[in-house]
Structure 1
Amino acid sequence: MFDWETEKAELLKKIEELMERKRYAQLREMLLPMEAADIALLMEELPEETMPLLFRLLPKELAAEVFVELDSDEQELLISGFSNTELKEVLDELYLDDTVDIVEEMPANVVKRILKHTDPDVRKSINEILKYPEDSAGSIMTTEFVDLKRDMTVEDAFKRIRRTGPDKETINVSYVIDEGRHLIGLVSIRTLLLAEEDDVIEDIMQTNFVSVSTLDDQELAARSLSKYGFLALPVVDTENRLVGIVTVDDAMDVLQEEVTEDIEKMAAITPSDKPYLKTGIVETFKARIPWLLLLMISATFTGQIISSFENALEAFAVLTAYIPMLMDTGGNCGSQASVTVIRGISLSEIEFSDLLRVIWKEIRVSVLCGVVLAAANFVKLILVDHLLFQNPAVTPLVAAVICLTLVCTVLCAKLVGCTLPMLAKKLGFDPAVMASPFITTIVDAISLLIYFQFAHMLLHIG
């Protein structure tokens, strides 16, 4: 197994040495046993001028696999250096969905050249897939699958698989269609191998299957593949006609993109489809500054609350010292609840109908957490702040104000953290938007209002 992390530097050094000495045959032999993804990672680390030469050393099939694994910038660089013949050879080796991905990421002049050197049938399929909405199952499917007729025998099925299989992305599952290309069943290669040659496909096919529509969200297709452990998922149109399949490798890409997008939204960053090191400074700035401005402006409400209780703070200045602790604890509790609920929503474990169950659970959790935190804080205030540091302002009554505020803040924070993502989902927004920064700002204001309310009731200030 190729260990990228430990062997990268050594391999890069060896590649550069062999290229300098023009030992191309030896370099080719070194690359052949490697996985395409690892070769792509190595090529991205090498100087740009060496990439085309290294790429041309690879066999056509391996070269196409490496090409798919490269980032769009490297792909564009190679395409610009390809002759028309080389470009056509690479395109002929690519699966349709990979070609569509490349077309979507390339600038117009490169796309025009790619389509010009693509077979007419493939070009037609590319254009059909590009018509589907972005982020739909139709946009990530491939039309390269094996279809069978219900009246075929197992022997006929194997003949068709041998004849058409080399050009298909997968032959592990074949899809049974009728005369109108409606999907009526599927049969695995294992079932075919274990059946008799004269068995009829209709008698051995599986009629209880899962499919998605071309207009379904791509994340639904990806999660269906993950849920059922399929290697491919059939895609049908509005009339249940089989038009393509979504394979597990595309599903993994979708899930990775969705997770990355959620993480960026939860960190208050506008999502980007570019790797961090390949995103320009201005682009990174534009992705971050809108949220920072919004959160900064919303945080001014916290300042206004503190200003409105300025007299109370003057009378009991010691209360000021514990504001950061209360706000941070509330923000942390809200973040815990929101992240847990957002994760549950993304995995389809939590629906809006579960709102009351979620709230009831978070209430019980928050009571336990709040009591433990308040008890620990009360002991710390009396033993450390009052006795050890001999701070006379920290009286048992002041400690009670702080600890009661802590209990209520934890309760409110967890309720806000669990309900906002679910409400956002119900209203059609991405739940990830209601994550840590946004919830922390809300909880900060709530914790201050609770704090000064208890100070007013118990200390008679404000």
Structure 2
Amino acid sequence: MKATQTQLQTLLEAGQFDAVQTWLEPMLSADVAEVIDELPETLQAVAFRLLPKNDAIAVYEYLSPRVQQALLEDLKNPDVLDIIDRMSPDDRAHLFDELPAKVVRRLTLQLSPAEREATALLLGYPPDSAGRIMTSEFVALRATYTVEQALARIRRLADTSETIYTLYVLDNARHLIGALSLRDLVVAQPEQILQDLMRREVIYLHTHTDREQAARLIQRYDFLALPVVDSEQRLVGIATIDDLIDVIEAEDTEDIYTAGGVQSRGEDYFQTNLFAVARKRVVWLFVLLLANTGTSAVIKSQAALLEQVVVLAAFIPLLIGAGGNVGAQSSTVVIRGLNTGEVRPEQMGYIIAREALAGLLLGVLLGVMVTLWAFVLQRSWGVALAVGISLVAISLLAAVAGSALPFLFKALKLDPALMSAPFITTAVDVLGVLTYLKVARLILGI
């Protein structure tokens, strides 16, 4: 793709626009959008203007929000309005989420009445709901239709529908009463009635269903789309797999950022200026810095012990590092399980007990090796045993903390990813050092 972008840039700079159009014509919309994204800003609008209008609309929906906004400023108003008006409602709503409020108001007022109503409907739902990502462009059928009538309706609406592979059957009040696939129609006899073909048990979403839950449902059942109904069970839209894949990616990105101690608001992190990047990171780093002062306080409180057996200090990094790693492993598997639904809150006791046993086993295995290594280095069984026994205790403690704290955050209605590796490591540092020095004092009799 980099070679394509370089060749396209060369053609644009040379003014060979016919060659550019020929070059772009066979490419898929997503690939064209990626190439335009990588072009210098001065050439993005030029390349976009060379696309046929129908292709331009499809490509625009794949462009990054940053480039979409830049094109809004560069393109003439009639061109912008035509592209915005012909976008699918869910993609238009996503674009409007990224634009300043003044620009959204101006564009909304100039949309056609039907598109304005469709966009206002989507923007009226909470940002993280299924209603916000659904599209109203779907094929609805009546139970009394014959197969032949249904196929005729699909032919009329195919060009303006998001998908025709999943079809929904409504009653006269637009209540969802069944569903069937295009395959069902194709293999049926023309005179058959839809109510005899449709599935009456339909998996559906409510408009206020969390979009992450919607993504899990479509993943679980391998659907191409899910119907979205309002509080009165009327079909108002469909959530398609392409939008829900974007949801999964966005949620995973947010969890990864949160687990790394980086604030995330959904924007492109690598397009954010450095001052904003520093602001995102400094909050968690400051919290962790304050928490780590606990480790310093513990070491200071045991200064007399360390003065008598200075060698004990040499093993502190080893112990808290190993404990932090064990805790991070436990927290990672529990957080991931909670986010995917594989682990349920009612399993808390079982999960914590399981991780505690795993931590104890790991502690014993590592403790034996560390004890022998410490004796080789210091020739003191007292110090070696203090290090080995402390590692067993710290591993057990870290595993329990790493598995229990995400459940606590879940119960408090907070994102379990907040209780991520940096926080677990910091907590284990404080408790681990305290445990180590207390064990050393008991074994060495100081």
Bin for the TM-score computed over the shorter chain: over 0.9
**Letter of the 1:113 counterpart:** R
> Of 36, 48, 54, which aligns to 2:41?
48
Q: How far apart in 1 are the matches of 2:277 and 2:240?
A: 32
2:431 maps to what in 1?
A: 446
The answer to whether the 8 A contact 1:87-1:117 is kept is: no
Alignment match, 2:286: 293
Shift of 1:440: 0.8
Task: Write the mapping of 1:53-452 to structure 2, written as runs, cut at 5 A.
Answer: 53-383=46-376, 385-386=377-378, 394-452=379-437
Name the CA distance, whole Å, in 2 between partners of 1:16 and 1:182.
52
Structure 2 SS opposite 1:187:
strand
RMSD: 1.3
Contact kept? 1:232, 1:247, Cα under 8 Å:
yes
Q: Identity over aligned residues, as a percent?
A: 38
**Normalising by structure 2, what TM-score?**
0.97
- Would the aligned equivalents of 2:85 and 2:115 in 1 still touch at CA under 8 Å? no
- 1:402 maps to a residue whose letter is V
Residue 52 of structure 1, CA deviation: 1.7
The answer to whether the Cα contact below 8 Å between 1:150 and 1:200 also exists between their aligned partners in 2 is yes
> 8 Å contact 2:214–2:244 — kept in the other structure?
yes
Distance 1:261 1:407 in 2: 34
Instruction: Kindly indicate whether the alpha-carbon contact (under 8 Å) linking 1:362 and 1:418 is maintained by their aligned counterparts in 2.
Output: yes
1:285, distance to aligned residue in structure 2 (A): 1.2
Q: CA deviation at 1:277?
A: 2.6
Q: 1:24 and 1:90 mapped to 2: Cα distance?
A: 21
CA deviation map 1:308-329 (0-9, x unaligned)? 1110111111110000111111
Provide the rounded CA distance (Å) in 1 between the counterparts of 2:85 and 2:149: 27
Determine the C-alpha separation between the residues in 1 that align with 2:55 and 2:351: 50
Contact 1:84 1:117 in 2 (8 A): no
Work out the CA distance in 2 between the residues paired with 1:79 and 1:409: 57
Equivalent AA in structure 2 for residue 350 of structure 1? V
SS at match of 1:184: strand
Distance 1:13 1:299 in 2: 49
- 2: CA distance between counterparts of 1:57 and 1:415? 60
Q: Deviations over 1:116-144 (max 9, x none)?
A: 33210110111111111120111111111
Aligned in 2, Cα 1:268/1:13: closer, same or farther, shift over 3 Å?
closer
Answer yes or no: is the 8 Å Cα contact 2:328–2:421 preserved in 1.
yes
Tell me the alpha carbon deviations over residues 102-129 of structure 1, each in whole angstroms, 9 at most, x when there is no partner: 1111113322332233210110111111
Which residue identity is paired with 2:312? L
SS at match of 1:244: strand
CA deviation vs aligned residue, 1:137-171 (integer Å, no higher than 9, x gap) = 11111111111111111111111111112101011
Residues in 1 aligned to 2:284 and 2:17: alpha-carbon distance in whole angstroms:
51
**Structure 1 letter corresponding to 2:354:** K
Query: Offset of 1:40 from its aligned partner?
Result: 1.7
* Residues 60-96 of structure 1, C-alpha deviations (whole Å, 9 max, x = no match): 2221121112122211221223233312331243111
SS at 1:457 equivalent: helix
Check whether the contact 1:60–1:93 (CA below 8 A) recurs between aligned residues.
no
Q: Do the aligned residues in 1 keep the contact of 2:374 with 2:383 (CA within 8 Å)?
A: no
Closer, same or farther: CA 290–13 of 1 in aligned 2, 3 Å: closer
CA distance in 2, matches of 1:440, 1:21: 56
The answer on whether the counterparts of 1:171 and 1:189 sit within 8 Å (CA) in structure 2 is: yes
Q: TM-score of the superposition, structure 1-length normalised?
A: 0.94
Would you say the 8 A contact 2:327–2:401 is kept in 1?
yes
2:126 aligns to what SS in structure 1? coil
SS of match in other structure, 1:271? coil
Q: Which moved more, 1:37-46 or 1:251-260?
A: 37-46
Runs of 4+ in 1 over 3 A off after TM superposition: none
**Secondary structure of 2:191's aligned partner:** coil
Long gaps (5+) in structure 2: none
In structure 2, the residue corresponding to 1:143 is in which secondary structure?
coil
